[in-house]
Amino acid sequence: MNVPSLLVNDISDSWYLMLGHGEGHKRSVSVTGMEPSSSSPPPAEWKPTVSQEEQWALERQVFHIYQLFCNIPPNSQAVMLELQRENHIDYLMKGLRHLGPSFSVLDANRPWICYWILHSIALLGESVDDALEHNAIDFISRCQDQHGGYGGGPGQMPHLATTYAAVNSLITLGGHRSLGSINRGKIYSFLRRMKHASGGFSMHDGGEVDVRACYTAISVACALNILDEELVQGVGDYILSCQTYEGGIAGEPGSEAHGGYTFCGLATMILVNEVNRLDLASLTDWLVFRQGVEGGFQGRTNKLVDGCYSFWQGGAAVLIQKLHAATGEGHSSMRSNESCTSSEISDDEESLEGTSSGMAETSRDVEEVAGQENSSIRFNLSQRHIAAEPLFQSHALQQYILLCSQVEGGFRDKPGKNRDHYHTCYCLSGLAAVQYSWSRDADSPPLPHSVLGPYSNLLEPINPLCNIVLEQYDEARQFFNNPM
C-alpha cells in the first residue's frame, strides 16, 4: 500500500519538532544550473563521496539562482528580494480552510498545522477574521484532553509537542476567549506527569524522552506562568548531558549535534536560568560554522542547508547574541560557569530602568507580579537592548530565504523541493529573528540596512525563546500574570 505522499516527501530531510512524519526517502537534488561552485573540484583520481556530490549539486543550483540575480537590472532585483506577502497569506489562509487527503499523514499534528499557519500569518502582520478565529479556538479546544494537555487531534492522547503548538496557537490568536480556553491547572498536572526520572520529560504517556520534550514542556510552562522548581528540577542536567564534543546539542546523550535540538536545548537552559552551565564558547563556534556558502544554515556538520534551520540555527545565534549583550562579555567569559549570574543581569536591569522606556517598565511590572527569580533573564533576552552585531552573516541568510526558499506563496527547504506550512513558518520565523538582530532595543525598529530587500519586508518581532509574536506574547504574560 502506498501512502499518498506528496507532502511527506517534500519535508523528509527537515527536522521536525513534532511527532514525526511519513516517508523518508532521500531525494537527490536535480541540477538545473551548471555554474561553477565555490568549492574546489576534487583531484581526478579521487572519487567524490555521497556527501560531496549532494553538496556540489545543491551549490550549483543555488549559485545558478544567485548568478541570475546578479545579472538582472536593479529594479528586477528589488522585485526578486521582495517578500510576497499577499501570496503567502493566500497560501496560508487556504491551508487553514482546507487540506487535501495527502495531509492524512499529519493527522496527529493538527495543532502544529494551526501553529505553523497562524504564527506565519501573525509574523506577516495580519490576523484571521472573527469567524476563523472562533473556529480555530473551538477546534483547538477539542484537542484538549480532559486530564490536561493537547493531543494531535480530537480524541488523541495529550502530547507535549502538540501542547506546545496548541498553546502557542492560542496565544498567537490572543484575546480573553482564546487565552481563557487554556486550562492552566490541568496543563500543569500533565507536565508533572510527563516528568521523567532522568530530569527530562516524556513526550506522552509511554513516549520518548528527549530534548524536544524538555523544550516544549518548559516553554509552555513559561508562557503560562506555571514554571516551578518541580518542573525545572534536573532539566539542566539532562540538557547538559546532550551537549556534544562538537559544541552543539543532540536529541539524546551521545547523539550527533543538531540544529533543532540545539535551539531547543539552548532556549530551555535560558528559560530555566542555567544557560551558563553549557559550554557556550564551543556551542557558538559550532553554530556559526553551520552557515553554509549558500547563506542558509545546515542542521548538522556536512549536511545540506535547509530553510527551516534559518530559525533553529539563526534563532539560536540570536539568543547567543542576546546573551552576550546581557553579560556584556566576550568569548572567554563564556567558558566560565560563573560569569553570567542572574543577579548580574538583574543589576543590569536596574540601570536599564534608569534610562527608561515604557517597555522596560512593563517588563518590571510583569516580573514583580510573576515573582520568580528566573524571570529576569527571560525578559532580558526577549526585550532588552542588543548591542552586538549578529555573529553570522545576516544578509546572506536573508538572501537564501528570499531567493532560494521563497516561492509564489509559501517557503521551501531548498530549490527543487516543494513548499509546505512547516518551512513557511520556520523560514519566516528565522527571517523575523535576523531582521531584528541589529536593532538597538526593542522599542525602536531595526535600521534599514538590517533588512534585506525593501524595508516593507520587515516582519513582526518575536519572542525568540517561545517563537511567538512579541505583542501577543506580552498579552499572554499579562493575562497569566497571576499565579494559578
Partner 1 sequence: MKEKGENCEAQRIKAEPFQLLERERERERKRERSPDRRIIAVDGMDSDEDERIPLSQRPEWSDVTPVPQDDGPNPVVPISYSKEFAETMGYFRAVYLADERSIRALQLTSEAIHFNAGNYTVWQFRRLILEALNADLHDELEFVEHLASKNSKNYQLWHHRRWVAEKLGTEAAGRELEFTKKIFVNDAKNYHAWSHRQWVLQTLGGWEDELAYCDKLLEDDIFNNSAWNQRYFVITRHPGLGGIDATRDSEVSYAVKAILTKPENESPWRYLRGLYKNSMQSFVTDRRVSTVCLTVLTTKANCVFALSLLLDLLSNGFEPNQELKNTVEALLPESSNRDSDMAATVCSVLEIVDPMRVNYWRWRKRSLHSQVEEGVRNLHVH
Interaction residues for partner 1, span 91-150 (CB under 8 A): 95-101, 103-110, 113-114, 117, 131-132, 135-136, 138-139, 142
Residue carrying C-alpha cell 546539542: 249
Q: Which is nearer to partner 1, 273 or 435 (CB)?
A: 435
The three grid cell numbers given for residue 70, joined into one nine-digit string: 546578479
Q: What distances in angstroms separate CA 333 from CA 132, 266, 340, 404, one per listed residue?
A: 49, 17, 8, 37
Q: Which is nearer to partner 1, 105 or 220 (CB)?
A: 105
Q: How far is the CB of 438 from partner 1 (least distance, A)?
A: 11
- Collapsed DSSP state (helix, strand, coil) of residue 309: helix
How far is it, in rounded angstroms, from Cα 59 to Cα 292? 10
Q: How far is the CB of 481 from partner 1 (least distance, A)?
A: 29
* Nearest CA among 130, 192, 133, 135 for reference residue 160: 192
Binders of partner 1 among residues 365 to 394 (CB under 8 A) are 388-393
Cβ neighbors of 431 (< 8 A, separation 6 or more) are 83, 123, 310, 398, 401, 402, 457, 459
Q: Which is nearer to partner 1, 258 or 378 (CB)?
A: 258
How far is it, in rounded angstroms, from Cα 31 to Cα 39? 16
Does 23 engage in binding with partner 1 (CB under 8 A)?
yes
For residues 399 to 438, the per-residue mask of contacts with partner 1, x marking binding by CB under 8 A and - elsewhere, is ----------------------------------------
Does 1 engage in binding with partner 1 (CB under 8 A)?
yes
Binders of partner 1 among residues 460 to 479 (CB under 8 A) are none
Of 245, 338, 354, 456, the residue at the interface with partner 1 (CB under 8 A) is: 245
Residue 413 appears among annotated catalytic residues:
yes
Q: Which is nearer to partner 1, 183 or 437 (CB)?
A: 437
How far is it, in rounded angstroms, from Cα 371 to Cα 359? 18
Residue 145 appears among annotated catalytic residues:
no
Does 49 engage in binding with partner 1 (CB under 8 A)?
yes
Q: Which is nearer to partner 1, 172 or 363 (CB)?
A: 172
CB 257 within 8 A of CB 223: no
Of 60, 119, 184, 300, the residue at the interface with partner 1 (CB under 8 A) is: 300
For residues 183 to 222, the per-residue mask of contacts with partner 1, x marking binding by CB under 8 A and - elsewhere, is --------------------xxxxxx--------------
Residue 66 appears among annotated catalytic residues:
no
Q: What distances in angstroms separate CA 450 from CA 54, 134, 174, 389, 432, one per listed residue?
A: 32, 37, 29, 10, 11
Cβ neighbors of 235 (< 8 A, separation 6 or more) are 199, 200, 201, 214, 218, 268, 272, 274
Does 153 engage in binding with partner 1 (CB under 8 A)?
yes
Does 50 engage in binding with partner 1 (CB under 8 A)?
yes
Residue 26 appears among annotated catalytic residues:
no
Of 58, 66, 123, 152, the residue at the interface with partner 1 (CB under 8 A) is: 152
The one catalytic residue in 258, 322, 324, 378 is 258
For residues 260 to 299, the per-residue mask of contacts with partner 1, x marking binding by CB under 8 A and - elsewhere, is ------------------------xxx-xx-x-x------
- Collapsed DSSP state (helix, strand, coil) of residue 298: strand
Of 87, 189, 333, 418, the residue at the interface with partner 1 (CB under 8 A) is: 333
The three grid cell numbers given for residue 147, joined into one nine-digit string: 486530564
CA angle 433, 459, 301 (to 5 degrees): 30
Exposure on the CB side of residue 435, measured as CA atoms within 13 A: 28
* Nearest CA among 281, 283, 309 for reference residue 295: 309
Residue 395 appears among annotated catalytic residues:
no
Does 19 engage in binding with partner 1 (CB under 8 A)?
yes
Q: How many residues are recorded in the chain?
A: 484
Does 449 engage in binding with partner 1 (CB under 8 A)?
no
DSSP code at position 102: G
User: Which residues are part of the catalytic machinery?
Assistant: 258, 300, 303, 306, 308-309, 413, 420, 423
